[in-house]
Each structure stands twice: as C-alpha cells, then as structure tokens.
Structure 1
Amino acid sequence: MRIPSFSMHRRASIAGMLMVCSFLAPACAAWADDDPESLDIMERQMEHLQQQQMALQNDLMAMRQQIARHRAQMGGSSAATGHPLQVTGSGGHVRGGWVPSEGHATAMSVAGTGAEMETRGRMPHIGGRSAPATFEPVDQPTLESVVAHREEDLISHMANNNVGPHNRETVGAQSAGALGSKVFHLGPVSIILGGFFDAAALVENRQVSSGIFNYWNAIPFRDSSNFHTTNFNGDARYSRFSLMARGQLNPHLTVAGFVETDFGASAETTNPYESNSYVPRLRQAYLTLDDSRANTHFLIGQAWTMLTPDRVGIVPRQESLPETIESSILAGQTWSRQWQVRIVKDYLQHRLWTGLSIENPATIYDTTGFGDDLGNGEYALPNGGYAKIGSNGVGLSSATTNYSNEIAPDVIGKLAWDPHWGHYEVEGVVHFPHDRSVINGVGENHTAVAWGVGGSMILPVIPHRLEVRLAGLTGRGIGRYGSVLLPDATLRANGAPALLSSAQTTAGVIAHPNKMLDVYGYFGMQRSGRSYFDEGGNAYGYGNPLADNTGCMTEGSDLNTAALGGCTANIRSVEEFTIGAWYRFIHGQYGTVQAGTQLAYSRVHTWGGMGGAPTTSLSEIFFDFRYLPFQ
C-alpha cells in the first residue's frame, strides 16, 4: 500500500525523530543522576522536542485522514496489524506506534516538562525495500498514564556545584519534602506523590513526654522525679503523605501546587492508653510559579522559611536538613514552616541566587517574675499595670494557645552562590515584636526591631560521597527560629519588649559510602542572652542573678518550693551531639524500605541565680523503619 502525498523521505524524517527520542530518554536519566548542570541542557532539548512533537502530531493526524480516505477508496482495511496510535490532550501526550511487515520491536519513552510522548512498536527500515508501515487509528484517548522514572523538578535550573540536589532516598530529602520518582498524568496536569510510612521508637534516660520530638525546654532538673526515671516511647504519627500537581502554561512558565501532611498534631481527645488518635496536621501547602526564560521563581503559602539553609540555589524542597530521626531535627538548627510570599531570581547560569520573602511573624516571650497570666495574654507589671502580649485563639484557632500581637510580617533576604565546588549563602531577617501596656489607666503600644544575620555552607569533600555542613544565625529577638525555641524577648518595667540576644549553629559530617548506606554526625548549639531588672525587692526578667535556683538539685522542690527552694533555671544554652546511620535494605520497583538508628546526647546550661547555675542532660537512642512506596 502506498500512502499518497507521503514520500519515503517524509516517513524517514518522522521515524528518525522517534529514534532520537528513544535514545534521549535513558541519556536524560543518566545526566540527571551524574551531572546536575545538564538539567539546563535537558530543558532546552525538551523545549525543542515539544516543538517537533507538535509538528509530528499534525503529521500523524494528516496521515490518519489520508489512511481513512485510502481505505474508503480500496473498500477494505489492511490485514497487517500493529499497536494502535493514540493522541491525548492539549499537552501533547502521544502514545502509539506502528508495525511494518519486518523489523524489530523498539520502545521509546520521553518525559518533558510540559508534554510527554510514549511510542511503542516496530521501526520501519529506512532506505530499504521493506513494506511501508501500516497504522490502526484508535479513537479513545488515554486520560491517565505513568510515563517514567525521572527527576521531579526539571523546571528549576541548577548549576553543578558538586553538591547537587537531594538524593530522594536520603532522610534529609524526606524532611524537606522530596517527591517520588514516578509521574502520573491527568490530561495536561502532572501528579507526583511522595511520603512514607514511619514506625519510630526511642529510649531515653529521663521522662520527657514529647515522643521523638525533642522538647529541650522540658528536660527535667534534679528537683523533678522525671529526672530519675527512664522512658520508652514508640509511635507512627510521623508517617507522611505529600502531593504535587504541576501544569505547563507555556514552554517557559510552570505552575505547581504542593501539599504535605502527617499526624504530628494532638487533639484534646488524644490519649496514649487506648486509641493513640493523633490528628493530621498541615506541614506545607504552597503554590509556585517558575519562569525559566526570566529565571524568576515565585512562591506563596506555607513552606520552610527562607532562613532554612539550602542545598542548591534557593529552591523549594531542597532545604539542607539533617538526616536525624528526631522530628525536632537538631538543637541549633535554623528552621520554621510558616506562611510566606517569596520571590527568587537567579543569575550567571543559575550560580547566583537572590531571594526576598515576607513571612508570618510570631514572638516568644519569657515572663519570669511577672507573675501568673492575668488572662488572655496579660501579665502584671511591678507598678500595678499590665502588659498585653497576645490573645488566646478564637474561632478555628486553638483556644489554649496564646497568639502574640504582631504589627508587621518578618522580612527575610538571602543570597546564595553555587560555584563549581560547594554551596554558600548569607541571609538576614528583620522582625517587629509588638505589645501594649496599660499603667494607671493609660495604654501605650510598644514596637521593637529585632534582627538576625547568618549563613551556611556545604563543602563536598568527596563529591556525592562525603560532605561537611556548617550553618549559623545570630542576632537579637530571633530565638524562635531555632529548634530549641528559646525566647525572643522578655518585658521591661513599662511593659515594652526587651529583646534577648540569640545565637545558634550546627556542624555536620555526612557520608554516603554506597547507595544503600548513609552515616552522619552532628553538633548543634543554641543560646540566649539575658535582660532583667529589680524592683520592690523582686527579680524580673530573663537570666536575673536574683532568680531562685536554690531547689534545682533537691528532688521534690518542684512541688514544695516554700520548704525546699525554687528552680527558676532560665536556659542559657543547649548543646546536642548525635551520630546515626540509615540502611536501605530493600530498593526496587515497589519502593524503598530503610531502617535507621541514632544516638543523641543533649546538655542544658542555665543562667546563674541564687543557688548557682544548675545543668541537666538527656541521652537518647532512636530506632526507625520507613517504607517509601514512591521512591
């Protein structure tokens, strides 16, 4: 059979395009694994393929029409059979192929940023005398398909810094929100799933009822019986699920939505004796808009704060987070997950990144010496008035949580540099603690200006095998951006915020001896300054030398202060040393199963007061099993 108006040269051109695509798919996968810089090349190749693909679609549709007319003229259909041809959706998803009378089967799968093409069949002989291909049209479109394993984010160009994007199977990537390696399609929208099933446990030498979430402020001193008892706890509440939907608006503009949740929240009805009914909580939920032509990236929603150290560029889900099991991450780690509006631009072939973020504010106050809460965030001042630092939640907010008064969002700026070796960044934040005082019936608002500066670096000592991570942040009034959650401020005599100096740092060595094993060691530290005053024989403020610490070393004084002394014990610093490893003992088409263990030692130092500066410590052993079905 001869197809009218289609020369052998034309058919050879189409077949050649498909053959090029078939060889390109495995090459793309290898490039993404070995050389992150090639992502830029891949993106240009795929944009070119998209244009060719649309032209190919037009040719294929024209061929179908000519075949239909030819069959009508011949009064029958070809006896040859082959795989059907399917053209699906406006995004250009093509599936199908053809089978000539001779030849060998060839499979091809190409995954692009906006359009995916998958063709299976036999390639015709080019330039020979083999019979021409025959086609069998199919009218039913394919609305959903799995195309291939590939990198999740080709839309974000990255320079090769010998650090590279996260390996999905590492726990640092999982903490940041890594997605799976398979892409599902619903018409022109791509769906990528992520998450894992988690079963963790720990043994600790103190009773701290926070599970695998380390709450360092609650580590008991010797005055508490909790100091003298060990504790075991296991749960699955940090099992996680995530989803991203992504659409290609045009060859250069991509929109995506990402959501991530686990069961880390605790309702009033949650109990550890029967149901352990922990409730879902929102970890991340945001929208992104990426323009690969202008090299600009927009994000709005709840995500890791831009102060969190990154691994490459300033890219969502590429935050540099420790591989620890503990869900509170590491003492001294800079992080928060909160609402934000972020704009990022990269320069110099994606090596220089600048970012500006407007983020949701919050202030942690310490009210030592100011007496009990008078109600709804009001604390008594020494002159008879009170300071209003927040309000209890109403409506759909938690009625047992006091939300701080805030006058403006936090403003964060970051500069990141990705040379050929390592990742380096500097950042800064400005925060505006705000409260109101009422003294002798006269009210007054107070606003302070808190600030912080910091930076981080990743040094690939042996690229992709051994790296050193360093990070730090220092300033005044920024304690909440550290894992320990030390206070940002206390109060002055007139009720105005008194900012506390703050510093936090982490250092880590991470090794990947092979694809199955990750080994790590970290040190983290966070510390707080002090601010205080004395009036009427009473001590007010954080770290006051007149604070009562006389009972911190006597068990039972936490319940009988009058007889045995008190234990104010304002924390000066918290240090943590930890080592651990993860082993992926199952890794295949059904996902990854890994096990981890971690040893951690934390030590708490306090500001000196009457009775000295007591210290305490916590030793822990963590165990964890995870199944990652999408990795």
Structure 2
Amino acid sequence: MLKQTSAHFFKVVSKLYLILGIMLAPIPEAIAADDSRTNAELLQEIEQIKARLKQLEELVHKNADGVETAKQTAQQALTKETLVTDKLANGQIPLGHTNLSFSGWLQGTMTWRDHNELASASSTNFGTPFPKSIAYGVHELRADARNSYFALNMKSAEVDDVKLSGRLEVDFQSIGSNTTQNNNGWAPRLRHAFVEVDNAATGWHFVAGQTYALTTPYGNQVRSDGSPSADKAWTMLPSLPIINVGQLDDIGPAGVNSPRPLEFRLIKTFYNTALAVSLDSQIVSWAGNIAGASPVYTGTTLSSAANNQFNNNATQNLSLSTVPDVLMKATWQPDPSTFYETFGIVRSYRDMNGTTNLTGTGTTHGFGGGVDSFIKLWPGKLDITGGIGYGSLGGYAGNGIADVTFDATGKPTVVKEMQGWIGVLAHPSRELDLIAYAGTEHSHSAGVSGTDYGWGNPNFLNSGCAILNGVCNGSVKAVADVEVGAIWRFYNGSFGHVDFMPQITWLKKSLFSDINDFAPSAHNVAVDLTIRFYPY
C-alpha cells in the first residue's frame, strides 16, 4: 500500500513540473515582438499566471500531505501487524504474536532427618512422629530429584496498552498409583497455570488460574534467576519467576501462608500502592478423621464430614461449600527500601447432611487477616522480613492446624490461630545469599462441648502417645520451626548457573493437654543438601 501511494505521488509531481516547465518557458520572439498589447493587458496576463501558479502550488502541497498521511497510516498498520519477534529477548522464541520462554531448574536433594517421617527428600514438615513411635527412634536418609521443575512463560505484544501473559509450571512432587522409591515413577504435579491481562495505561490487572494466593507474602522471595532478593521488584502479580521462602518446594517457616488455589484476581496499581480482590477455590482442613481414627475419644465414636481440599487423590474429598474464599490485599511501598502489605479473608464452612451421631447441620463463616513487611536495612547487603496473622488460616499454612471443627449439634465451628514469622537475608556477594527464618502458629480450642466434640477438647485422651507405636493424633496446639540456609552460586556463566543450597531445619509440634494434663510434643532436625542447575 505504501509503495503504491508513493508511486502515485511521484507521477503527480512529474506532471506538475511538466506543466510548470511549459508555462515558464521563454516567450517566443514572435510574441515578444508583438507589442500591440497594452501594458494593462500584459499586467492582467501576469496576474493570471500568478493565480495559476498558486493553484498548482496548493495542488502539490495537497498531494504531498496525502502521501505523508498514507505513509503514517501504513506505518501504524505495519506496527500493529509486526510480530513480537522484533522485540525478542535472550532465550525467547516466537509463536505467532506471542513470545515463549522457559524457566525452571534441575535439582537433586539429599535429606537426613533425626527422626523418620517416612517422607521424600525436600518435604520436611510437621509430620514428625512422637517419641513412642517406632519411627521416632530411626534416622532417615532420602534423596531424589522430584523438585526439579519446568515452566513455560508466554507474553504477547502490547496492543492499545494491553498485554497478555501466562505461565504453565509443573514439578514431580505428586505420587502415581504405581510409584515406588525403586522405580522413581514420580507423577507430574501442576504448580502454576494462569493467564494475566495487564493494562499499563490504567493500572488494572486481571489474573485467572492456579497460582499463589494473596495470603502469600510477596516480600519474602529470592528470584529464581539467581539474583538476590535485594533485586526483587515488588508486585502482587504472579508472573515473576520466583521461589518461596523455603528453598525446597513451597515449604516455608510456620506462619507463612503459601497455597496455590485456582483463583480470579483483580488488581489496581497506583503510584506506590496496590489493591487487589480475589475469589479462590476453597482450601479447607476439617478436624477429625473418618470413624474416629484420630483423635482418640473418651466417649462415642463419631464420623466427621471429612470434606478436605481436593489433592488429586481418591482418598480425599471435596469441600462442600458452594461459596469461594474471598481475599483482599493492599500493599504500600513508601520508598525503594520499604514494603508493607496487609490481607484479609472471608470463608464459608458447611457441614454434611446426615453426619453420623450428630444432631444437626449448619453453616458458619470464618475470617482472618495479617500484615507482612520487607525492609532493606542495608540495600543490597541485608534485608529483614516478617509478618503476623490471626483467624481461620490453618489450611492456608498447611502445618497440621485445622480450619474448622464441629460441636455436639453438628454446627461447624471455626478454629482460630495466631501466626508469626521473621526472616533475615544477607547478601555478602552476588554469588552468596545467607538465609535464616523462624516461625510459629498457635491454635485456640473450638467447638468444645461434652466429651467428644471440638478442637482441643481436654476430654480427648493422649494416652496413646505414651504407648510404644500407639495412636497419637490429638488436636495440634502449636507448631514452631527455625530454618538456616545458604544459596551459593559456585558456577555462574553464559550457560546458566549452578547453586549449592544447604539448609538445617529444626521443628516442633505440640498437642493440647488431655483430661490427665498430658500434652505430648515432638521435634525433629533435618539437614538438606541440594544442587540446583538453572539452564535458562
């Protein structure tokens, strides 16, 4: 189109110059010799020639303006049609109007535990056995590569200030039906799968899919490209390639809420603040197990409505509630070295009709909230981060404290807990990060009525905890842990970088006291040695 317009313009200009050449050519001698015309007639002819010249000049300018307009229109059209390949960064490949890039790592981890949790490497949590368990007296050594993960990142061209991006991320932390330690047939697990719509001009953003919930502190992460957390750009958008505070999988200290539900999130960013609201698939942890297997009751055995969150395992049930969790969050960054955020959550719990030995059913609502912060005490060298929370947050932390229980009438009753955590991150050099975290959660009793119901009921017997290999699964009152580790990038070159990541974890969990004032507790120590290769 642009070439055709240019050719037409040059044809028009050529004709105009031909006309001008003819009009301005020397007057023939015959005409010059003819002096029979008066001066007035000659002046009139000159004025006519000037008027004609003016018309021709206007015509030339008009055609020139048309050509320029056509040129600009063509350039705009070409810009809109230009593939994103013109703006490719290192490691990106084009697919239509979208850039694709890859991220992730290959990892091998060896874990030693003082007490055997019968768990895979990089999965140390509060599943530690109690002292009278046979497993408690046996050390444990595990090694695997299950925490290797792969992510496909998608980013479109920006059209009318709108940009689309997406992320698909999997690891191998799931367990297939035929998986054993010997055949290493680990099943893939979906970590993230979401699409993000960003409007840079208005500051509105929309996220739909599975990713970290708004309860996750976004001030506690180290970029997965290996740069220290001091380089982190604060945002509530989940598209940055990040790892959580725990170097191994998503396990951070107690008190950190980092689930990945399916959600629909709307965000509005301002100069140094952001507001967000999200509707999330429920993550519910109900107290009690089917057939009263735990805890052990002093009276009638009862069956709970064990409607836990779905985890791709046939032995787990879906949450019964038809209302999603509603989350809200606000962030504020007054200066480049200080970041604060606060979140709130509204939840709905519904019991099951016909629950065995219960006289009624019902629905109740739970609430929770928290505050997290990140402060660069010495920018580029020393950071401190931490937060507190309170309310119905047990399932979001996933450390053994329930979200909800039920009383003697069958009515769901919210289990409230207090959370707190703190972290210190030092960056002696570009190749080394030193990390230390500590956290705790403390739950309150709930729904206690009679001898058989509720969370933390003193009539629940903990006597099995004092018997060799006895049942010891009473209500968890508190958990606490301390993590100390490092990230050493001992190779960092043009082909990626390789990190050595040692970590030592100490943890403890305690149960509520029973009617005999017996409150058992258990602790564990784990040492993780990890080699991680970032090829991208």
TM exceeds 0.5?
Answer: yes
Counterpart secondary structure, 1:432? strand
TM superposition shift of 1:398? 3.3
| Of 488, 492, 500, the match for 1:595 | 500
Matched AA of 2:488: Y
Shift of 1:422: 0.8
Q: Is the 8 A contact 2:286 2:308 kept in 1?
A: no
Structure 1 residue 607: Cα displacement: 0.9
Residues 545, 280 of structure 1: CA spacing in aligned structure 2 closer, same or farther, 3 A cutoff? Answer: same
In structure 2, which of residues 90, 94, 107 is the aligned counterpart of residue 198 of structure 1?
107
Match of 2:227 in 1: none
Question: Hey, what does 1:342 align to over in structure 2?
Answer: 265
1:545 aligned onto 2:481: no
CA shift for structure 1 position 369: 10
Q: Distance in 1 between matches of 2:246 and 2:301?
A: 50
CA contact (8 A) 1:302 1:339 kept: yes
CA contact (8 A) 2:115 2:135 kept: yes
Higher-Rg member (1/2) = 2
Higher alpha-carbon deviation: 544-553 or 283-292 = 544-553
Matched, 1:398 2:313: yes
- Tell me the equivalent position of 1:242: 151
Distance 1:546 1:285 in 2: 45
Question: Does the CA contact (< 8 Å) of 2:326 and 2:347 recur in 1?
Answer: yes
1:360 aligns with 2:330: no
How far apart are 1:481 and its partner, in Å?
0.9
In structure 1, C-alpha distance between the alignment counterparts of 2:203 and 2:134, rounded to whole Å: 58
1:92 and 1:408 map into 2 onto residues whose CA distance is 44
The equivalent residue for 1:304 is 212
Residue of 415, 421, 424 corresponding to 1:509: 424
Matched, 1:286 2:226: no
1:172 aligned partner: none
Aligned partners of 2:431, 2:245: CA distance in 1, in Å? Answer: 18
Task: Provide the residue aligned with 1:624 in structure 2.
Answer: 530
Of the candidates 62, 86, 90, which is equivalent to residue 116 of structure 1? 86
- The amino acid of 1:301's aligned partner reads G
Q: Is the 8 A contact 1:90 1:188 kept in 2?
A: no
Deviation at 1:249, TM superposition (A): 4.8
- C-alpha contact (below 8 Å) 1:220/1:226 kept by paired residues: yes
* Residue 259 of structure 1: how far off its partner (Å): 0.5
Aligned to 1:92: 82
Q: Distance between the aligned counterparts of 1:623 and 1:439, measured in 2?
A: 47
After superposition, the C-alpha distances for 1:328-376 in whole angstroms (9 at most, x for unaligned) are 23222111101000000011x2x11000000001321112797259xxx
Q: What is the DSSP-based 3-state SS (H/G/I as helix, E as strand, rest coil) of the residue aligned with 2:465?
A: coil
- Inter-CA distance 417–115: structure 2 relative to 1 (3 Å threshold): farther
Specify which of 599, 605, 613 is matched with residue 519 of structure 2. Answer: 613
Task: Give, as a single letter, the amino acid of the residue that structure 2 aligns with 1:467.
Answer: D
Q: Give the match for residue 261 of structure 1.
A: 170
**Structure 1 unpaired stretches of 5+:** 7-53, 62-86, 94-113, 118-146, 150-181, 374-379, 559-565
Distance in 2 between the 1:253 and 1:505 partners? 39
Q: CA deviation at 1:384?
A: 9.8
Return closer, same or farther for 1:185/1:363 CA change in 2, 3 Å cut-off: same
Matches within 5 A, 1:5-154: 91-92=81-82, 116=86, 147-149=88-90
Give the whole-Å Cα distance in 2 for the aligned partners of 1:187 and 1:594.
Answer: 35
Q: Is the 8 A contact 1:184 1:192 kept in 2?
A: yes
CA contact 1:309–1:320 (8 Å) conserved in 2? no
Q: How far did 1:407 drift?
A: 2.3
- Identify if the C-alpha distance between structure 1 residues 514 and 324 changes in structure 2 by more than 3 Å, giving closer, same or farther: same
- Identify which of 391, 395, 399 aligns with 1:484: 399
Question: 1:436–1:445: 8 Å Cα contact kept in structure 2?
Answer: yes
Distance 1:285 1:333 in 2: 22
RMSD of aligned alpha carbons: 3.3
Q: In structure 1, give the amino acid aligned to 2:492.
A: H
Measured in 2, the distance between the counterparts of 1:555 and 1:188 equals 64
* Residues 502, 583 of structure 1: alpha-carbon distance in 2 compared, 3 angstrom cutoff: same
Find the residue that maps to 2:518 and give its secondary structure.
coil
CA distance 1:371–1:386, change in 2 (3 Å)? closer
- Quote the residue 2:141 is aligned against: 232
Structure 1 pair 399/507, CA: closer, same or farther in 2 (3 Å)? same
Contact in 1 for aligned 2:321/2:348 (Cα 8 Å):
yes
Provide the residue aligned with 1:463 in structure 2.
379
Contact in 2 for aligned 1:467/1:509 (Cα 8 Å)? yes
Secondary structure of 1:401 counterpart: coil
CA deviations 1:371-424 (Å, max 9, x no partner) are 259xxxxxx99899966453998xx95321122211200000001011113110
Contact 1:286 1:302 survives alignment (8 Å): yes
Q: For 1:432 and 1:251, how far apart are their aligned partners in 2?
A: 40
2:120 pairs, out of 190, 211, 224, with 211
Q: Tell me the CA shift for residue 215 of structure 1.
A: 5.6
Shift of 1:317: 4.0
Cα distance in 1 for partners of 2:130, 2:484 equals: 25
Please state how far the C-alpha of 1:115 moved relative to its aligned partner.
Answer: 6.6
**1:260: Cα distance to partner?**
0.4
Q: 1:568 to 1:292 in 2, by over 3 A?
A: closer
Amino acid at match of 2:254: A
My pick for the range that moved more, 484-493 or 448-457, is 484-493
Sort the Cα spacing of 1:606 and 1:55 in 2 relative to 1 into closer, same or farther, 3 A.
Answer: farther
Q: Are the structure 2 counterparts of residues 57 and 322 from structure 1 closer, same or farther at C-alpha, using a change threshold of 3 Å?
A: farther
In structure 2, the gaps of 5 or more residues are 7-69, 220-233
Q: 1:91 to 1:382 in 2, by over 3 A?
A: farther
Q: Which of 568, 582, 587 in structure 1 is aligned with 2:487?
A: 582
How many residues matched? 451
TM-score of the aligned structures, taking structure 2 as reference length: 0.77
Q: 1:539 to 1:588 in 2, by over 3 A?
A: same
Mapped contact 1:370–1:540 kept (Cα < 8 A): no
Shift of 1:600: 0.8
